[in-house]
């Protein structure tokens, strides 16, 4: 999984990646750059975002994805620096502990998660689309989640609802702009082996097991396995993949009884 991919499908393309400082966004910034893209790394966390941009030879833009002006400025920087906006990976998101069961989740926690996970995707698509429409070309990939298509008794109510919104919005945009050469897809990752998840599950193996039992392949994804799906969706290899619910979940959403 760590070997350098041989394909160079994105030479000359400009990609904006939000949440590029960590996890799926970081792995994707690396992968898109390795395929030849110029990568604009956006993150609210300056040191992580800058480090990502330095590593991939791209540009860092500090942005809070909930702020319309900052999001506009992000896509303008991409265009002004590289002359096009070809790929938008709208990926930044949060999953805070105070977003839990509907019985205990307050309105503030609900709203914050909706802002960062769903409103941000609306803002990023709205900012990216004018560039893509002028070019007559573009690929937008919005990070939803497998919880957009399945229910969990271990609820994070606002997170789940936000990802359902990302899925429905992506589908609609994919349909609306298809004849302008723009594809919009919702990426639905299964659980990913991020540092946060590793730490959480190391402390609580029972919690990990409750989830792992549902994964046919018997493990969580590595961020690089999600990044390779994004690179595919970004590339012309996915020229007929549009308005899709693109599951990269090790088979979770298709499973009833999993192997022992
Ligand atoms: N990790 C998983 O298991 C998993 C599974 C399915 C979907 N997802 C989704 O994938 C996306 C990335 O998740 P991850 O696990 O890589 O997360 P992560 O926490 O490792 O990285 C998220 C990045 O987004 C940035 N960010 C947070 N709020 C921001 C804001 N307001 N403006 C700009 N940047 C902001 C953070 O600084 C961080 O660098 C999220 O949308 C998440 O919901 C994750």
The CATH number covering residue 116 comes to 3.40.50.720
In a domain, 47, yes or no: yes
In a domain, 208, yes or no: no
Which residues does a 6 A CB cutoff place in the pocket of ligand 1? 18-19, 21-25, 43-45, 48, 63-66, 91-95, 116, 143, 145, 189, 191-192, 194, 197
Asked whether the whole model's pTM tops 0.85, one would answer yes
In a domain, 201, yes or no: no
| Buried/exposed code over 42-77 (b: 16+ C-beta within 10 A; e: otherwise) | bbbeeebbbbbbeebebbbbebebbeeebbbbbbeb
Can you give the pLDDT at residue 1?
A: 56
pLDDT at 3 over 80: no
E strand spans, the chain = 14-18, 38-43, 59-62, 87-90, 138-143, 182-189, 245-248
In a domain, 95, yes or no: yes
Can you give the pLDDT at residue 130?
A: 98
- Atom of ligand 1 at shortest range from CA of 92: 24
> Annotated catalytic, 256?
no
How far does the centroid of ligand 1 lie from the alpha carbon of residue 18, in Å?
A: 9
Let me know: does 70 contact 80? Beta carbons within 8 Å.
Answer: no
Q: What domain range includes position 163?
A: 14-194+222-251
In a domain, 8, yes or no: no
Can you give the pLDDT at residue 129?
A: 99
In a domain, 61, yes or no: yes
pLDDT at 260 over 60: yes
Can you give the pLDDT at residue 194?
A: 86
Residues 6+ apart with CB under 8 A from 203: none
How far does the centroid of ligand 1 lie from the alpha carbon of residue 260, in Å?
A: 31
More confident residue, 78 or 201: 78
In a domain, 39, yes or no: yes
* Number of structural domains the chain divides into: 1
Which of helix, strand or coil describes residue 115? helix
In a domain, 206, yes or no: no
């Amino acid at each position: 999984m760590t070997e350098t991919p041989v394909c160079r499908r994105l030479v000359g393309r400009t990609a904006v990646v939000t949440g590029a400082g960590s996890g799926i966004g970081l792995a994707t910034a690396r992968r898109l750059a390795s395929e030849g893209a110029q990568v604009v790394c956006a993150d609210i966390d300056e040191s992580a975002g800058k480090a990502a941009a330095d590593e991939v030879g791209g540009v860092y833009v500090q942005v809070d994805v909930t702020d319309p002006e900052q999001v506009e400025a992000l896509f303008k920087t991409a265009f002004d620096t590289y002359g096009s906006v070809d790929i938008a990976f709208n990926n930044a998101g949060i999953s805070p502990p105070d977003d839990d069961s509907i019985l205990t989740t307050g309105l503030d926690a609900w709203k914050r998660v909706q802002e960062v996970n769903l409103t941000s995707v609306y803002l990023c698509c709205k900012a990216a689309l004018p560039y893509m429409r002028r070019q007559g070309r573009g690929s937008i990939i919005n990070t939803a989640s497998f919880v957009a298509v399945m229910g969990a008794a271990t609820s994070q109510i606002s997170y789940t609802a936000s990802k359902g919104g990302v899925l429905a919005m992506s589908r609609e945009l994919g349909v609306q702009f298809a004849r302008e050469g723009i594809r919009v897809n919702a990426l639905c990752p299964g659980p990913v082996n991020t540092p946060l998840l590793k730490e959480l599950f190391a402390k609580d193996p029972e919690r990990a097991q409750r989830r792992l039992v549902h994964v046919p392949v018997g493990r969580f994804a590595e961020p690089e396995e999600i990044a390779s799906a994004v690179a595919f969706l970004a590339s012309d290899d996915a020229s007929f993949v549009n308005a899709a619910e693109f599951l990269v979940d090790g088979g979770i959403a298709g499973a009833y009884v999993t192997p022992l």
